[in-house]
Structure 1
């Protein structure tokens, strides 16, 4: 398992604020995530305080 420390960007969007995170491109390639096939699932595990990003099947 690889681990990286990333920052979340906060930016102004309309009347509020939005967020963005950049993921390492090699990881996305390994998962088969491309410009054409880019749908993922984001799972929030509140109990374990984890965000899980998974390629949508």
Structure 2
């Protein structure tokens, strides 16, 4: 994994929700990655070499 960092803004409610579903000592990055992997496993999201494609976003 690269060591590049970025900041994303989320509502305090979203941050609280992430904290509640995460395990003790799990970073927000780890929680978000786990959610992405879970969604990918059920076939709703495809990530290919850094390109993001989601059927939910392709509706525009």
Same fold (TM over 0.5): no
Higher strand share: 1
Higher helix share: 2
The one of the two structures with greater contact order (alpha-carbon pairs below 8 A, sep at least 6) is: 1
TM-score for the superposition, normalised by structure 1? 0.31
